[in-house]
Amino acid sequence: MSFELDLATGLLALLVFPGFAFLFVYGLTAEYLDRKLYARLQNRVGPPPLQPLADFLKLLAKESAVPEGATARIYNAAPWTGLAGVFTAMLYIPVWSERAAFAFEGDLVVVLFLLSLPSFSLFFGGWYSGNVFSRIGTTRTITQLFGYEIPFFLAAFAPAVAAGTLSTSGIAAFVAANPWYVAVLLPAFGVALLSLQAKLERIPFDIPEAETELATGALVEYSGRKLALFRLTKDVELVVGAALLSALFLGGPAPAGVLAGTAGLAAGVVVFLAKTLAVIALLTVLKAVVARLRIEQMVDVFYRVLVPVALAQIALVLAVGLYTDGVIL
Amino acid sequence: MSEQSAGTEIPVGPQHPSLKEPANFTLNVDGEVITGAEMKLSYNHRGIEQAVLSKSYIEAIYLLERICGICSHAHTSAFTQGVEELLDLEVPPRARYIRTLIGELERIHSHMLWLGVAGHEIGFDTLWQYAWRDREIVMDLLEEITGNRVHYSINTIGGVRQDLNDDYREAILDGMDDLEERIDFYRNTVPNEETVRMRCEGVGVVSEELAREYCAVGAVGRASGVPTDVRKDAPYAAYDDVDFDVITDDRGDLLARTVVRIEEIAQAIRIIRQVAERIPEGDLKASAKPPQALLAQVPEEDVVSRYEAPRGELVHYVRADGTDTPARVHIRVPTLANWPTVVESLKGSYIADTPIVVAGIDPCISCTSRIGVETDGSHGGENAFDLDELREYGIEWYDERGNVDRPSTEDDGRTVADGTEGERP
């Protein structure tokens, strides 16, 4: 391939699919489906399909004030960093085939890092907005970050250990080739699901924004365009998180790979949508059936329960690997 | 980080998402733990006690009904029962049964509302939506019987204004069957749901000693093991004719209050069934004479009337001076009796528990608003103000707390030099 063609496909991936345009549309759609399902579970009607878009556009049109007590530069930059992080992360996650738009050995680490950016941007934005509710909220954001990141990383490394690679695409290909690993990795999938819920700050882990306690915490002072960006970040993070889980634990686009050519790619996208939506639906149901925990209870659950489960999972994966290699019986 | 958050002062309210009415809690927090709490009330003084004095007894019923959007029947019942005592009126049994019925339906809708609010405060919005959906059963019944969802206007002096026909009785019994099914569901699920337990067990504990010391009333007292219930202690309406249990719990935490309230709904259903089945035939009013004629002979006396509102013991004090308007009406709402327990149980708990601890007493904040203005020139102590002093105090108070430019009291038309009643320009 020539350099021009590389550049063209690169830009296409970055701006259209699976980059900006696709994530924007799919993120808002996912928000709609999440809200609709949540509403139906609560016996409510729920929003119409275009509601998330309408909310987004409305916020864009509103004044985006900077509070007097805020450190303006950081306060203004925070919404962009988080959004940039999640958009970039998607490029390393396989969508239509087992190979992502960009892939290299070790991209899993990059994805995990990029997925932490929204939490940090929330922290910086909230901390420097000079509001007491924001400060409490951001302290909780960081405390929560320490709670879920370790189990999330451990859970993500379980399939990496099984596949013997730190490439997201490589892991997706490995699980697709050995479908029974989906069952082996089930505990890690559960841990990752709960950690993702905590990362997204949704019930029962919406502690940092806790509407009834902190009036949305770090986001208290944000309004207009910057608030819209934070909300879009959440939507896209939901989709990217679900995509990562689907790639690591559910075999990515498998079994679409059996079809060749364009049909295979189209089927891959369909499988991608089905799997990510299933993950999102699980997160929504979880949100509907529990109450919010307190921050110390959340950290407690993650360290006392999920970290040991994730560690046991890695041990299990190692044992299974040795067994399949014939080292142990 | 810890340096900056240690000793932070968090203002909760008067505008805050967890408070639907204005109140202010200033919390001193160390990290996530509350080390001190202070409460300020009366942001929304409506002057109802004063307004009642310019109304006739009949008009006063409708004004007092609007003290609260939840326990409207409680206020009219307490007031009319007091006036009936003044007039020495014997309310016919049918009317007493109807009052009991509406009172218990009101208790159910109030407790269901609380259950929903409690769910929302602990971030369990599904419980909130479910509880409020099921509350509609009672709201619909109330609307069917009285014509209104909230202000039933069914009490009048000497009886009630609406009869209960057989269709309504059928509808009530059907509604109670549906509701009982739902209550069984909440009874089994809510106290056993793991995250609800985590958020409510051992939170906002009010010991029996504390409850007695602060005279906690209603579900708050009963959840701490104080079996106080006006319906049993001093039965009014038809409560001495019906069987029901006073629900108590000895744990004193939020879970206990939740359980007590859910069980009280079950008891209310029991009472409503008995009332609907056993309601005697008879008149609706004590006398065929119009109430105005009766009130023309009101003696110069005073009376204290007690009523078990959904939130606890409600006290109305009415003093009559022989004219057609009351000389004084004072209302002690149950929330006022329960506030001190909130401040006490907030200390030492987590910030995250603030909303549920505050909501745990089922506060009715605007009902609690009172303000005292002396009019006779005698100072009642350092906390007593005349209007000018109050105005100055208010301005100083805000000046101390923010760099907001406030108008000075100099050359202000509303402040008069020597009087207590400023005239508005």
Helix or strand or coil: residue A86?
A: helix
Q: How far is residue B13 from each of residues A67, A212, B24, B25, B356, measured CA to CA in Å?
A: 20, 12, 4, 6, 15
Nearest to A132 among B10, B120, B123 (CB): B10
Residue B22 lies in a domain: no
B144 within domain boundaries: yes
Grouping H, G, I as helix, E, B as strand and the rest as coil, residue B153 is coil
Task: Name the burial class of residue B210, with classes exposed (0-12), middle (13-18) and buried (19+) by CB atoms within 10 angstroms of its CB.
Answer: middle
Domain co-membership, B412 together with B344 = no
B405 with B328, same domain: the answer is no
Domain membership of residue B89 (yes or no) is yes
Average pLDDT, integer, range A135-147? 86
Residues of A in contact with B195 (CB under 8 A): 204, 290-293
Give whichever of A168-172, B106-110, B367-371 has the largest mean pLDDT. Answer: B106-110
Alpha helix locations (H) across chain A?
Answer: 3-15, 20-41, 51-61, 72-90, 107-127, 132-163, 168-177, 181-184, 186-199, 211-214, 224-249, 261-289, 295-301, 307-324
- Give B137→chain A minimum CA distance, Å: 15
Same domain for B170 and B241, yes or no, is yes
- The total number of residues shown for chain A amounts to 329
Residues of chain B with pLDDT > 90, as a percent, come to: 25
Based on the structure, what is the number of domains in chain B? 2
- Chain B: nearest CA to A134, how far in angstroms? 11
Q: What per-residue confidence (pLDDT) applies to B287?
A: 83
Region B102-114: mean pLDDT is 92
Residue B15 lies in a domain: no
Residues 6+ apart with CB under 8 A from B59: none
> Using a CB-CB distance cutoff of 8 angstroms, which residues of chain A are in contact with residue B126?
41-42, 288-289
Pair of tokens at residue B218: 């209603």
- Domain shared by B127 and B225, yes or no: yes
| pLDDT of B425 above 70 | no
**CB proximity A196 to B under 8 Å:** no
Residue A83 has phi, psi (to 5 degrees) of: -60, -45
Chain B positions with Cβ closer than 8 Å to A:
1, 4-5, 8-11, 16-18, 29, 31-32, 119-127, 129-130, 133, 193-196, 198-199, 350-355
pLDDT number for residue B381? 60
Distances (CA, A) of A119 to A43, A219, A294, B146, B399: 32, 12, 18, 53, 38
Q: Specify the range with the lowest mean pLDDT, choosing from A311-325, B4-18, B109-123.
A: B4-18
How many Cα atoms occupy the beta-carbon half-sphere of B55 within 13 Å? Answer: 14
Among residues A35, A13, A133, the alpha carbon closest in space to that of B351 is found at A133
Of the residues B5, B32, B117, B182, the best mutation for testing chain A's interface (the one with the most A CB atoms within 10 Å of its CB) is B32
The more confidently predicted of residues B372 and A3 is A3
Indicate the residue of A214, A288, A291 with minimum beta-carbon distance to B122: A291
* Residue range B22-50: mean pLDDT, rounded: 82
CB contact under 8 A, B129 and A289: no
Q: In whole angstroms, how far apart are CA B391 and each of B146, B387, B388?
A: 44, 6, 5
pLDDT category, A192, cuts 50, 70, 90? Answer: very high
Alpha carbons B158 and B161: distance in angstroms, whole number: 10
State the Cα–Cα distance between residues B204 and B346, nearest whole angstrom: 7
Start-end of H helices in B230-384: 230-233, 254-278, 291-295, 334-346, 354-359, 365-368
Does B35 fall in a domain?
no
Is the same domain home to B77 and B216? yes
B213 and B81: one domain?
yes
* Mean pLDDT of the region B44-65: 88
Claim to verify: residue B298 and residue B425 sit in the same structural domain: no
B238, amino acid identity: A
Looking up tokens 């003084």 gives B45
Residue B101: which H helix or E strand, with range? helix B93-121
pLDDT of residue B50: 84
Cα angle A298, B35, A146 (rounded to 5 degrees) comes to 25
Summarised one tens digit per residue, pLDDT across range A45-68 is: 999 999 999 999 999 998 888 888
Within this chain, do residues B280 and B410 fall inside the same structural domain, yes or no? no
Residue ranges of domains in chain A: 3-324
Residue B45, helix vs strand vs coil? coil
A266 reaches B (C-beta below 8 A): no
> How far, in Å, CA of B324 to CA of A242, rounded?
72
Tokens for A234, please give them.
């959440």
Contact A167, A321 (CB under 8 A): no
Distance of alpha carbon B15 from alpha carbon A318, whole angstroms: 55
Read off the pLDDT of each residue in B290-308 and give the average, rounded to a whole number: 87
Chain A residue numbers touching B122 (CB-CB < 8 A): 291-292
**B235 within domain boundaries:** yes
Contact call for B126 and A42, based on CB within 8 A: yes
For residue B213, the domain's CATH number is 1.10.645.10
| Mean pLDDT of the B411-422 span | 48
B405 band by pLDDT with thresholds 50, 70 and 90: low
Residues in chain B: 425
- Chain-chain contact of A291 with B4 (C-beta, under 8 angstroms): no
Do B355 and B405 fall within a single domain? no
DSSP letters for B230-244 = HHHHS--TTTTTS--
Does position B216 have pLDDT exceeding 80, yes or no?
yes
B329 plus B410 within the same structural domain: no
pLDDT of residue B377: 55
What single string gives the DSSP state of each residue in A197-265?
A: HHHTT-TTS-TTT-HHHHTTGGGTT--HHHHHHHHHHHHHHHHHHHHHHHHHHS-TTTTGGGS-HHHHH
Residues of B whose CB is below 8 A from A213: 18, 351-352, 354-355
**Which residues have CB under 8 Å from A72's CB, separation 6+?**
A66
Q: Which domain holds residue B312?
A: 48-368
Element (H, E) at B128: helix B125-146
Q: pTM of the entire structure?
A: 0.81
Q: How far are the Cα atoms of A292, B108, B120, B257 from residue B192, in angstroms, in the given order?
A: 15, 21, 17, 14
Looking at the structure, tell me whether residues B325 and B409 fall in a common domain: no
Cβ B10–A136 below 8 Å, yes or no? yes
Terminal-to-terminal C-alpha distance of chain B: 52
Rounded to 10 deg, the angle between the B254-278 and B166-189 helix axes is: 160
Q: Give the count of alpha carbons within 13 A of A245, CB side only.
A: 29
Span A308-326, pLDDT tens digits: 998 898 888 888 888 887 7
A137/B contact by beta carbon, under 8 A: no
DSSP assigned state of B285: B
- Checking if the pLDDT of B49 tops 80, the result is yes
Chain B residues in contact with A212 (beta carbon < 8 A): 17-18, 120-121, 123, 355
pLDDT at residue B406, as a whole number:
53
**Are B183 and B258 in contact, with CB atoms under 8 Å apart?**
no
**Among A255-269, B11-25, B376-390, the least confident range:** B376-390
Tell whether A289 is within 8 A of chain B (Cβ). Answer: yes
Interface residue A300 vs chain B (CB under 8 A): no
Mean residue pLDDT across chain A: 85
Q: In angstroms, rounded to a whole number, what is the distance separating the alpha carbons of residues A286 and A57?
A: 29
Q: Which residues of B touch A207 (CB under 8 A)?
A: 352
